[in-house]
């Protein structure tokens, strides 16, 4: 083997690796952009599943509340969104604040009707079931409270994924739920005053 043949073989053996290095060097920005878009798409796909789950649960809660409101409460829902300002800065905090209002409203319902309020468990579902057992709220409110608890738990599990839109939907559902609970409280108080 001659020296010239050795150089030719050596250059031809390095041609593909050198070509790949040159391509990567010249195209590194587009390659990085493509990889970042791929990673973002995968993240969106994963969060899309949680968004779909959030929306599905929110729709179920809305259906429960619609059934309750149309069963005898006034036709228009007031816009109470007390925690809407917090959705801009901290959507998970707005959800947590609104979530606390649900148990408070249920306890107010029980207290206003003279029922013994169960010891604070921090679980609005237990309080709602107790109110249902006392014939103060229909099953649809219990299911709506279950849905709100499920939504709040999904937010607590991954607060980084919570968007302003999620918080606004949650607040709207909680406002509707609070309205339905208040309507039940007014109905129960009215029934008690008629019995006297």
Number of H helices, E strands in the chain: 7, 0
Q: What is the pLDDT of residue 82?
A: 59
Q: What is the pLDDT of residue 81?
A: 47
pTM exceeds 0.85: no
Mean pLDDT over each residue of the chain, to the nearest integer: 75
pLDDT of residue 196 exceeding 80: no
Please write down the HEC assignment for all residues of 160-175.
Answer: HHCCHHHHHHHHHHHH
pLDDT in tens, 46-86: 555 567 777 778 777 777 766 555 554 443 333 344 566 66
- pLDDT band of residue 90 (cuts 50, 70, 90) is confident
As a whole number of angstroms, the longest Cα–Cα distance in the chain is: 118
């Amino acid at each position: 083997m001659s020296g010239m043949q050795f150089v030719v073989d050596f250059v031809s053996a390095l041609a593909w690796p050198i070509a790949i290095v040159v391509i990567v060097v010249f195209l590194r920005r587009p390659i990085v952009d493509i990889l970042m878009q791929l990673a973002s798409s995968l993240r969106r796909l994963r969060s899309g599943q949680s968004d779909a789950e959030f929306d599905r649960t929110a729709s179920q809660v809305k259906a429960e509340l619609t059934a309750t409101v149309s069963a005898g409460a006034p036709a228009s829902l007031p816009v109470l969104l007390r925690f809407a300002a917090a959705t801009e800065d901290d959507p998970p905090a707005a959800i947590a604040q609104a979530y606390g209002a649900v148990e408070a409203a249920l306890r107010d319902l029980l207290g206003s009707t003279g029922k013994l309020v169960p010891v604070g468990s921090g679980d609005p579902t237990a309080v709602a079931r107790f109110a249902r057992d006392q014939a103060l709220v229909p099953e649809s409110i219990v299911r709506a409270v279950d849905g709100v608890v499920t939504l709040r738990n999904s937010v607590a599990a991954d607060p980084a994924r919570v968007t302003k839109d999620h918080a606004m939907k949650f607040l709207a559902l909680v406002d509707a739920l609070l309205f339905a609970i208040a309507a039940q409280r007014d109905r129960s108080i009215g029934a008690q005053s008629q019995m006297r």
